[in-house]
Structure 1
Amino acid sequence: MRRPSRLLLVSCAFLTACSPGMFSGQVERSGQPDRVPLKAARTSPAGSPSPSSAAKELDLVSLPTGLTAGTDSPLYTAPKAKAHCDVPSIKSGSFTSMKKYMTAVSACLDRIWTSEFRAAKIYYSPPERKFIQRRVRDPKCGMMPAKGADGTYCGGTKTYYVLAARTALRPDAAPWASEVVAHEYGHHVQHMINILDYEESAAGVAPKSDADVLSRRVELQAECFAGVAISGMGGEMPSWWDYRSLYTGYALDGAWVRDHGKLSTQMRWLGRGYRSGKPEACDTWSVSKRDVT
């Protein structure tokens, strides 16, 4: 998720380096999706993943392309996600403990989504992940995460990057850390089922207002996928009310709302996935525009 967390905004209020906007709870960021366009990252015309020759011998379904990649994905037939995972605690001021926490959450996400894809008979390979304290260069997507972002996914290298600021190195940052990791992982899920390819190609020829709607459908679906996975991790994760708190107490600027949706809408889709626990709850492509505001 590209927006800064409420935790970071609250923490920032005690630092002399904070901007005036952050003291008032306002966020000023350029509105850009938290994934790098595939055409800017890939080296071959085909950006969608494909199974290896060994995987092709398995009984895998064919993935739809275009709009039907979002409306009729075989992933929507997968059962309720579930996995028991041991997740360590985060220690105050310790990036090492934060990295271990995010790594454990990511490993649990590997188990959940590998199981979901297997149940739906879809080829799957987990993403790479980088947990860092300063931006780094991805070989295909450039500096990551995107400027001003907590996290960004690069489809070109199938890698997501999460930036853990010093102010986030606290035990009560677990809701933020697990949600941003699960959200960026959700973009990889979309990449594996051709949704990012469709959004990129459709947005490239659409008017700006329609492209913004497409972006919101992508981002809100990633929120919902995050809810599905977090719910599936069970008692190891923070409570739902802890996650709700990430969406209150500050405001997003207009650009962020246009391509990510309102905070209330983001929370609604996260909750929809969390309550259902199934990918089928996350079809943001069949609903009307008013459901992805």
Structure 2
Amino acid sequence: MKWDGNRESDNVEDRRGDGGGGGGGFGLGGRSVGIGTIAIALAASYFFGINPATVISLLSGGGVGPTTQQSPAKAPPANDEAARFVKVVLADTEDVWTTLFRAEGASYIKPKLILFSGSTPTSCGQGQSAAGPFYCPADQKVYIDLSFYKLMRERFNVEGEFAQAYVIAHEVGHHVQNLMGIAGKVDEARRNATQVRSNALSVRMELQADCFAGVWAFHANEARNILESGDVETALNAATAIGDDALQRQSQGQVVPDSFTHGTSAQRVRWFKRGIATGVVADCDTFKARQL
């Protein structure tokens, strides 16, 4: 992936080494949450999903927890290449989505991306590295512990900078859903839905975010020629590795479709490929699709 020398976003905050702050737990304001709900939330959020605190809150019918007071925001060191990469990818998503929103007569609100290690307080509760990268709609921020990229390499044998960029673009896709009002409608529908129906809605949300990541890649490559040979394959490898069916086979030796929250490997690949093939946002309407 060609990225060095491209614009770097100023919307990256570095909380690494801050000690986590805000105490433990999910920050749900004392609401009782059963162990079954926690298990569902962790399973739903393990890779490329929303903070488990958000999932728990929705399943419990509650709101998000309080925001913990933060120390003054700081930028990553200028000589930190991993952080520079993140800043360039975020800037690229800003440029693409600003242009696409403007074409529809709307304004794109840029999300802030938070680098953290271990845990960090968010407006959705206490964010944990174990949940993987996530987006918090309450504060419109993307959170990522960069050790996740090491996990991608070691546990799933997924290499390549474009695969790492896909992770960020997917979470930004959730931000786009939030700005478009999609996330709010889905959250409302899930509050009164059965668990099976709630899971099915979550799958469509995640697959749409995969498609939006593809839309970003299409336009970024058109504008800045970022893709090199093999790049798309690395993103597809990442999508394959974190499909619900692949994760369930690895963790429990069997597949339970009704418990899917992110989609199968084949579905994640299909929707990312759809976005990167056309670059058309309307092609990513997973909620009207008869077949995922």
Normalised by the length of structure 2, the TM-score is 0.65
In the aligned structure 1, how far is the partner of 2:65 from the partner of 2:256?
A: 27
| Amino acid corresponding to residue 141 of structure 1 in structure 2 | C
**Pick from 10, 27, 30: which aligns with 2:43?**
30
Alignment root-mean-square deviation, CA: 2.7
Q: Could you list the runs of 5+ residues in structure 2 that have no partner in the other structure?
A: 1-41, 67-78, 249-254
Identity %: 26
Alignment-derived partner of residue 12 in structure 1: none
Alignment-derived partner of residue 124 in structure 2: 141
Alignment-derived partner of residue 77 in structure 1: none
In the aligned structure 1, how far is the partner of 2:187 from the partner of 2:151?
A: 32
Alignment-derived partner of residue 25 in structure 1: none
In the aligned structure 2, how far is the partner of 1:175 from the partner of 1:144?
A: 25
Q: For the Cα contact (< 8 Å) 2:211–2:284, is it kept in 1?
A: yes
- Deviations along 1:236-269, whole A, 9 cap, x unmatched? 2452122222234672125796110101100110
In the aligned structure 1, how far is the partner of 2:151 from the partner of 2:90?
A: 18
The DSSP-based 3-state class of the residue aligned with 1:143 is: strand
In the alignment, does 2:142 pair up with 1:160? yes
Alignment-derived partner of residue 151 in structure 1: 133
Q: For the Cα contact (< 8 Å) 1:221–1:283, is it kept in 2?
A: yes
Q: For the Cα contact (< 8 Å) 1:128–1:159, is it kept in 2?
A: yes
Matched residue count: 209
Q: For the Cα contact (< 8 Å) 1:150–1:164, is it kept in 2?
A: no
In the aligned structure 2, how far is the partner of 1:221 from the partner of 1:161?
A: 19
- From the superposition, tell whether residues 161 and 191 of structure 1 become closer, same or farther in structure 2 (CA, over 3 Å): same
Q: For the Cα contact (< 8 Å) 2:160–2:234, is it kept in 1?
A: no
The DSSP-based 3-state class of the residue aligned with 1:167 is: helix
- From the superposition, tell whether residues 195 and 124 of structure 1 become closer, same or farther in structure 2 (CA, over 3 Å): same
In the alignment, does 2:273 pair up with 1:252? no
**How far has the Cα of 1:228 moved from its partner?**
0.5
**Mapping of residues 1-293 of structure 1, within 5 Å:** 30-32=43-45, 33-35=49-51, 36=54, 40-41=63-64, 96-138=80-122, 140-145=123-128, 148-165=130-147, 167=150, 172-234=159-221, 235-238=225-228, 239-248=231-240, 251-253=246-248, 254=255, 258-288=260-290, 290-291=291-292
Q: For the Cα contact (< 8 Å) 1:141–1:154, is it kept in 2?
A: yes
| Amino acid corresponding to residue 97 of structure 2 in structure 1 | W
Q: For the Cα contact (< 8 Å) 1:224–1:273, is it kept in 2?
A: yes
The worse-fitting range, judged by mean Cα deviation, of 221-230 and 157-166 is 157-166
Relative contact order (alpha carbons < 8 A, sep ≥ 6): 1 or 2 greater?
1
- From the superposition, tell whether residues 195 and 115 of structure 1 become closer, same or farther in structure 2 (CA, over 3 Å): same
Q: For the Cα contact (< 8 Å) 1:30–1:255, is it kept in 2?
A: no
In the aligned structure 2, how far is the partner of 1:117 from the partner of 1:274?
A: 18
| Amino acid corresponding to residue 110 of structure 1 in structure 2 | E
- Deviations along 1:198-225, whole A, 9 cap, x unmatched? 0110011011111111111111000000
Q: For the Cα contact (< 8 Å) 1:212–1:259, is it kept in 2?
A: yes
The worse-fitting range, judged by mean Cα deviation, of 179-188 and 252-261 is 252-261
Normalised by the length of structure 1, the TM-score is 0.64
In the aligned structure 2, how far is the partner of 1:223 from the partner of 1:175?
A: 14
- From the superposition, tell whether residues 177 and 249 of structure 1 become closer, same or farther in structure 2 (CA, over 3 Å): closer
Alignment-derived partner of residue 62 in structure 1: none
In the aligned structure 2, how far is the partner of 1:249 from the partner of 1:125?
A: 31
In the aligned structure 2, how far is the partner of 1:260 from the partner of 1:249?
A: 12
| Amino acid corresponding to residue 278 of structure 1 in structure 2 | V
- From the superposition, tell whether residues 168 and 231 of structure 1 become closer, same or farther in structure 2 (CA, over 3 Å): farther
- From the superposition, tell whether residues 249 and 182 of structure 1 become closer, same or farther in structure 2 (CA, over 3 Å): closer
